[in-house]
Amino acid sequence: MADICPKCGLPTEICACEALVKEEAVRIKVYTTRKRFGKLVTIVEGLSASDLNGAAKELKRKLACGGSAKDDYIVLQGDHKRKVRQILVGMGYNENSIDVR
């Protein structure tokens, strides 16, 4: 008998908890701001703590830029507002939950 996941109720082999977390009503905010010496950076807020480092690594790789995951947000070097939405949707996040300002 297979083990049952307590969160989603499915057998652990086909557990859908990660997909459910991405589809929850979480608002992801994407905006730019200026940092030291007038450098423009893109901020991505609203991702869950478990996805933060993985999402930061994927965004940096696909955008070919530097950045880091701090506290509860991702900082990307440069202006990437238009591209971040498409990448997050490709990673499985709901397009309607992503606000680009």
Separation between Cα atoms, residue 98 and residue 96, nearest integer Å: 6
Residue-wise pLDDT tens digits, 3-17: 787 767 777 777 766
Dihedral angle of Cα 80, 82, 59, 72, to the nearest 10 degrees: 80
Write the DSSP assignment of 52-91 as a string of letters.
HHHHHHHHHHHHT--EEEETTEEEEES--HHHHHHHHHHT
pLDDT in tens, 22-71: 555 578 999 999 998 999 999 999 888 878 898 999 999 999 999 999 88
Would you kindly state where each structural domain of the chain is located, as residue ranges? 25-100
Superfamily in which the 25-100 domain is placed by CATH: SUI1-like domain (3.30.780.10)
Pairing of strands 40-45, 67-70: unpaired
